[in-house]
Amino acid sequence: MTIAKNICLSLLIGSFCWMSACRQTTEYQDYTSQKVAKSDEGMVVAAHPLAAKVGVDMLAQGGNAIDAVVAVQFALAVVYPRAGNLGGGGFMLYDEQDGETVALDFREKAPLAATKDMYLDTEGNPVDGLSTRGALAVGVPGSVDGLLAALEKYGALKDRALVLKGAIDLARKGFAISATEAERLNKYAEDFKEQNAYLFPFVKNSAWKVGDVIVQKKLAQTLQAISDKGRAGFYEGTVAGALLNTMQMNSGIITQADLNNYESKWKAPIQYKYKGYEVNGMPLPSSGGIVMMQMLKMLAPFNLDSLGFQTAESIHLLSEVERSAYEVRAKYMGDPDHYPVPIREMLSDTFIDSMRQSLDLKRARVSITENTKQANTPESFETTHTSIIDQAGNSVSLTTTLNANYGSKLYVKGAGFFLNNEMDDFSVKPGVANLYGLVGAEANAIAAEKRMLSSMSPTIIKKDDQAYMVLGAPGGSTIITAVMQVFLNMSEYDMSLEESVNSCRTHHQWLPDHIFVEKGCLSIGIRNALKAKGHQLKDKNYMAKIKAIHRGKDGSLTGVGDKRNPDDHAQGL
């Protein structure tokens, strides 16, 4: 991709040109994206070339995987505004070479004033858009607390200013937007105007195009405050004041007490063996770790290779396994700090054996739909995932999101960032689907200070005590099945990492009761064979976009960004 140095000149005289958002100098960095990289030293795969470069620079300056991932995430908040964020939350897995493997939960929380029925009308029906747009949709942001907690505990450099410098420079000097970003900004232009009664750097009166440069002065100041004051630079003082002001102006319910109370949590990963591999996944409130464990353990006794890659038989098996695990997700999973989730049972071999026994190897079962409407399937949203392995062999897998593109579309004017719409990941009413068509139950009902259930699945797979694969993805409900399929492509079907990532994917999530198939994938013959088994098939433009690293037997690293996201970028040290 070539970025034209096209500097919204026409806008410089336009009344909608927002102060410093458009500029004439060419101080910003040009870039192109690279999908595959090789290195014997270190590797960064991220959702944007400029952010990946910031991570590689960090490694080159002696930083470890944590220094690099934190630098990448702050940079993504600048150059990847549709999902990179300060106003969202996420999950991280970190594996220290010869040390521990830990999980960090920096998922957003429901505000203290949140209530179970807050999105329902007087008749008990969900009010359209209330959990997805504007101030009420916003969960208490966790990203800044989480990134700083990771940096403090495991960063090698102990130099917050250096780690944030790359992001601050990009915000101050500006960056040229990619074609995909231009397309998204144009798509949501009306929503931005609808949700915000003021101009900000992502609003202008003509269409965005590739190469337009965006400078984010307010965001640079916010990042500087975080650099100078740490957590207090975001959750207190001017930035917090701007966020709370945005809340008040838009009838939101987040208060200073919510910001003070926010705390990310260190947790033990979901860890198990699959055919000689040690899989590390994210624990609740991400469903990713448990759902993938149940699916892989159900699959373990089968010889997938002999069933063939994406034959009607293997897709049937995969889909039925996925159906079972997503049913458990919908019925029983939620934030265990607020609901007695039967975690031990869900992880037990006895329970998973019973799930396997209930599979029908010949026919599609029917997802029971009592109290449940078949939901629409989602449009394509963005989340952002970063995978890194450093020179010492430490690896990190981190996924973060605003939920939908640009989250709630609400922008904190005084501090320069978008706020999430993560509250929609709660079950707003039993049986009512969220943006991803997922339904939930009491375990994922809204309660004050509770974290909403997630599908984000940062994953680290080890072999012989070393990271073998580091991967994760955006893609809502399709993340978990995509991560599993990419792992199976390598481990069962002997594909290269590049083939594994770029191969067609299928997905079943119990409800709606379809096999989702990426457009243009599967022959008519296979589609008909699946229909003959009782499956309904539904095409989807694309599923989760994986960012992965593989360590070969000789120790060399291959990084792969997904062809599904033009901005994905792999870069070696």
Which residues bind to ligand DON, rule: CB under 6 A?
381-383, 401, 403, 422, 425, 454-456, 474-476, 479
Residue 305: closest CA among 490, 461, 471: 490
Give whichever of 21 and 546 is closer to ligand DON, judged by the CB atom.
Answer: 546
SS (H, E, C) 531-556: HHCCCCEEEECCCCCCEEEEECCCCC
Residue type, 50: L
Shortest Cβ 422–ligand DON spacing (Å): 6
Q: Which of 377, 383, 399, 401 is catalytic?
A: 383
Shortest Cβ 349–ligand DON spacing (Å): 27
CA distance 352 to 358: 10
What does 401-466 look like in DSSP terms, one character per residue?
Answer: E-SSTTTTS-EETTTTEE---GGGGS-SSTT---TTS----GGG---TTPBPPB----EEEEETTE
Give whichever of 64 and 401 is closer to ligand DON, judged by the CB atom.
Answer: 401
Give whichever of 394 and 457 is closer to ligand DON, judged by the CB atom.
Answer: 457
Give whichever of 212 and 422 is closer to ligand DON, judged by the CB atom.
Answer: 422
Give whichever of 168 and 291 is closer to ligand DON, judged by the CB atom.
Answer: 291
Shortest Cβ 509–ligand DON spacing (Å): 11
Is 122 noted as a catalytic residue in this protein? no
Shortest Cβ 144–ligand DON spacing (Å): 18
CA distance 104 to 92: 5
Tokens of 514: 């379809």
What values do phi and psi take at 422, rounded to 5?
-70, -20
Task: Please list, in sequence order, all residues whose beta carbon lies within 8 angstroms of the beta carbon of residue 186, skipping any fewer than 6 positions away.
Answer: 207, 208
CA distance 164 to 162: 5
Residues in the chain: 573
Residue 359: closest CA among 329, 400, 324, 392: 324
Residue 202: closest CA among 384, 383, 459, 11: 11
Residue type, 390: D
Shortest Cβ 16–ligand DON spacing (Å): 29
CA distance 405 to 196: 16
Shortest Cβ 8–ligand DON spacing (Å): 28
Give whichever of 22 and 104 is closer to ligand DON, judged by the CB atom.
Answer: 104
Shortest Cβ 425–ligand DON spacing (Å): 5
Task: Please list, in sequence order, all residues whose beta carbon lies within 8 angstroms of the beta carbon of residue 562, skipping any fewer than 6 positions away.
Answer: 35, 473, 501, 502, 545, 546, 547, 568
Give whichever of 174 and 476 is closer to ligand DON, judged by the CB atom.
Answer: 476
- Cite the active site residues: 383
